[in-house]
């Protein structure tokens, strides 16, 4: 898509060559001539029908100009906070002194303010243009994140408005040590990126590293935090995410308390958190809101089923194809009987049903919510039963793939679960060609990759490698909050 390419915008190709004011004239300044100022703004926004320029008489001034983009402002706020106060104050200079507006003499500053939902006021005989924020862009109401539901825990989630998202974090961290620094990325989109961290908790080197990775990014537009994630991760070809994404402000707050850095992208409900480890992908925010024995048990369930998600189909293929002596005779006969009419080898059979399962899962996500679940569940049952009766696949492989699908759903982090889904397919090929030896080689390859992977200088498999026993309080176990003396208050999210 065009907006993902590196920025190569050429103003001369998108503006009128006969236009006396070109878009690249970023340092143009306003003059005391109101007509000239109006022409400068109109020339910059040529062919923009939603730009409104209104002339009005002010009692103590000859004339003033109000400029705004109709689609970005609130009309009622314009009347209440701009027009009425301006008429009451009697002059633009008096309006500036009220303190609710800012002024500039540069065209580029005013253009940026107009695009952010401001109204600009220019008075005759003055080279200063006043801007007042009256945004009117519709905002989604706060609701529970659909990608990270919980039974017990906060129900609010991030939305597409950055100011609201920052307020949700500040509501949980009422301290001046919570720092928010802005970057702007995207030559055309001018998307705001907010770096948030707790001063004195986050390492300065980590904050500097985040800034250094953001500064070189050159894009025409940024539409979601996922665009930024691909630029700042250490290994872009790894199936494992090296940046955590979340819609939950409580998750961001917990990670900030641990010394991590969060990135908020305007118009995106997903915040990015760095660094991240392998074990964070198996931890849910709800682990810290329920009793610790239950949370530990659930965590071990996830550890067990992540192995099923990767190894169950490959083990079935390897054992039924090369190592039948490893399973009991009755079970071998049962599997052989069910596969008697199947025309495909075990690897093709498992691969076929895996692809069908993934297609049903994707269809269930893309279809309207009212029918998506019904189609995915009913489709799986009908297709699986029909395929078994037709002799295209055997019943055991349907069971194995179903268990594998359920296992993947136990992983709380969606991006992490996607990486696990991808690993099943190369493991299937290795199992179908080399048997258990292929599975061992594949597993060793995964372990070598994971242990060598880094996220912003932090080893991905820490604290297991390098081994830090004190940090095990929040990896394999979820000890009581009061017992986590080595971790900061609030625990890991």
Summarize pLDDT for 346-396 with one digit per residue, the tens: 899 899 888 888 888 887 777 776 666 666 666 766 777 788 888 888 888
Average pLDDT over residues 295-304: 92
**Domain match, 192 and 260 both:** yes
Q: What's the domain count of the chain?
A: 3
Domain boundary among 213, 248, 276: 276
Domain boundary among 114, 133, 152: 133
| Residue 491 counted as domain residue | no
**Domain match, 225 and 302 both:** no
| Residue 483 counted as domain residue | no
Check residue 177 and give its pLDDT.
93
Average pLDDT over residues 124-139: 81
Q: What's the number of CA atoms in the CB half-sphere (13 Å) around residue 354?
A: 25
Domain boundary among 133, 148, 174: 133
Task: Name which of 105-109, 159-163, 197-201, 227-231 the model is least confident about.
Answer: 105-109
Global pTM reads 0.83
Mind listing the pLDDT tens digit for each residue in 95-109?
A: 555 556 677 788 888
Average pLDDT over residues 10-20: 41
| Residue 448 counted as domain residue | yes
**Domain match, 307 and 424 both:** yes
What's the domain range around 123? 2-133
Convert 368-398 to b/e letters by CB count within 10 Å (16 or more is b): eeeeeeeebeeebeebbeebbeeebbbbbbb
**Domain match, 327 and 449 both:** yes
Question: Tokens standing for 436?
Answer: 């258990």
| In contact, 228 and 263? CB cutoff 8 Å | yes
**Domain match, 176 and 249 both:** yes
Strands 102-104 vs 129-133: parallel, antiparallel or unpaired = antiparallel
Average pLDDT over residues 24-39: 78
| In contact, 111 and 26? CB cutoff 8 Å | no
**Domain match, 87 and 174 both:** no
Average pLDDT over residues 86-91: 70
**Domain match, 326 and 467 both:** yes
**Domain match, 266 and 303 both:** no
| Residue 32 counted as domain residue | yes
CA angle 172/252/186 to nearest 5° reads 115
| Residue 61 counted as domain residue | yes
Check residue 3 and give its pLDDT.
47
Mind listing the pLDDT tens digit for each residue in 241-281?
A: 999 999 999 999 999 999 999 999 998 999 999 999 999 98
**Domain match, 26 and 77 both:** yes
The SS3 call for residue 261 is: strand
55 pLDDT more than 90:
no
**Domain match, 167 and 240 both:** yes
| Residue 484 counted as domain residue | no
**Domain match, 66 and 196 both:** no
| Residue 138 counted as domain residue | no
Average pLDDT over residues 7-27: 44
| In contact, 103 and 128? CB cutoff 8 Å | yes
21 pLDDT more than 60:
no
| Residue 241 counted as domain residue | yes
**Domain match, 462 and 316 both:** yes
């Amino acid at each position: 898509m065009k907006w993902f390419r590196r920025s190569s915008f050429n103003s001369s190709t998108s503006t009128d060559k006969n236009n006396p004011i070109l878009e690249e004239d970023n340092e143009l300044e306003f003059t005391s001539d109101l007509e000239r100022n109006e022409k400068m703004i109109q020339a910059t926004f040529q062919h923009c029908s939603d730009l409104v320029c209104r002339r009005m008489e002010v009692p103590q001034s000859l004339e003033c100009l109000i400029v705004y983009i109709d689609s970005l402002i609130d009309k009622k706020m314009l009347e209440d906070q701009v027009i009425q106060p301006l008429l009451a104050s009697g002059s633009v200079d008096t309006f500036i002194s009220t303190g609710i507006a800012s002024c500039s003499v540069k065209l580029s500053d005013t253009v940026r303010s107009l695009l952010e939902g401001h109204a600009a006021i220019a008075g005759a005989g003055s080279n200063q243009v006043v801007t007042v924020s009256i945004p009117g862009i519709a905002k989604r109401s706060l609701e529970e994140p659909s990608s990270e539901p919980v039974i017990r825990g906060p129900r609010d989630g991030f939305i597409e408005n950055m100011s609201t998202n920052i307020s949700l974090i500040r509501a949980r961290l009422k301290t001046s040590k919570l720092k928010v620094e802005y970057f702007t990325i995207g030559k055309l989109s001018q998307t705001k990126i907010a770096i948030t961290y707790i001063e004195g908790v986050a390492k300065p080197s980590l904050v500097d590293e985040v800034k250094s990775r953001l500064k070189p990014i050159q894009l025409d537009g940024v539409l979601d935090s996922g665009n930024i994630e691909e630029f700042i991760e250490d290994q872009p070809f790894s199936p494992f995410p090296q940046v955590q994404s979340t819609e939950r402000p409580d998750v961001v707050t917990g990670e900030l308390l641990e010394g991590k850095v969060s990135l908020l992208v305007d118009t995106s409900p997903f915040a990015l958190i760095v660094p991240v480890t392998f074990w964070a992908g198996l931890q849910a925010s709800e682990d810290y809101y329920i009793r610790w024995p239950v949370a530990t048990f659930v965590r071990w369930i996830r550890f067990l089923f992540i192995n099923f998600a990767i190894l169950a189909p490959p083990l079935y293929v390897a054992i039924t194809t090369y190592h039948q002596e490893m399973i009991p005779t009755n079970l071998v006969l049962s599997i052989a009987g069910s596969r008697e009419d199947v025309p495909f080898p075990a690897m093709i059979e498992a691969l076929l049903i895996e692809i069908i399962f993934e297609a049903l899962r994707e269809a269930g996500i893309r279809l309207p919510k009212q029918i998506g679940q019904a189609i995915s569940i009913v489709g799986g049952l009908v297709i699986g039963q029909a395929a078994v009766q037709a002799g295209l696949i055997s019943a055991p492989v349907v069971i194995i793939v179903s268990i594998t699908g359920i296992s993947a759903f136990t992983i709380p982090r969606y991006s992490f679960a996607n990486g696990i889904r991808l690993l099943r397919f190369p493991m299937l090929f290795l199992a179908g060609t080399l048997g258990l030896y292929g599975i061992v080689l594949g597993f060793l390859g995964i372990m070598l990759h994971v242990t060598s992977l880094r996220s912003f200088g932090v080893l991905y498999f820490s604290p297991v490698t390098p081994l830090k026993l004190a940090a095990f309080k929040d990896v394999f176990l979820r000890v009581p909050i009061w017992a986590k003396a080595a971790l900061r208050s609030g625990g890991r999210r």
